[in-house]
Structure 1
């Protein structure tokens, strides 16, 4: 039995895919820029003894990496669920 979602069953699904792809691209670009800016703040603040800014930079780097990881993992998870549905 070959089970696969019918992506053409709804009208406008092509536009929805384009919107989701554009939003994913924006999330990844913002996450990368956030990591770069936060890493610069962390690198400049730590040697000068500004522990508050260094801490905020460290948190910014971790949040940016986490956001990029979640965005990429979401796509992989949905693809895995689709392939799992074909095996049922």
Structure 2
């Protein structure tokens, strides 16, 4: 029987890599908020100017930005969930 677990101290630079990944997650969330604001402005402009194509693109942008924020926020939880599922096989 083989029993291997993740080793948080096995390689040099693991702590710095965790800091970098956390910073990338923060940047991703900031960009998702910026995309949400821009898409909401496009949606509002399209709705007020009677341009259904522009309004539709704004709606899509809002949904995509919300999805990106959900994925960035849940990345660690999703990874841990699938790690545990994989360990149960």
| TM-score, normalisation: structure 2 | 0.79
In structure 2, C-alpha distance between the alignment counterparts of 1:25 and 1:56, rounded to whole Å: 26
In structure 2, stretches of 5+ residues that fail to align are none
Counterpart in the other structure of 2:70: 69
Classify 1:60/1:85 alpha carbon distance in 2 versus 1 (closer, same or farther; 3 Å): closer
Match of 1:59?
60
Query: How many aligned residue pairs are there?
Result: 87
Q: Which runs of 4+ in 1 moved over 3 A?
A: 79-87
Which structure carries more relative contact order (alpha carbon 8 Å, separation 6+)?
Answer: 1
Structure 1 unmatched ranges of 5 or more: none
Q: CA deviation at 1:32?
A: 0.6
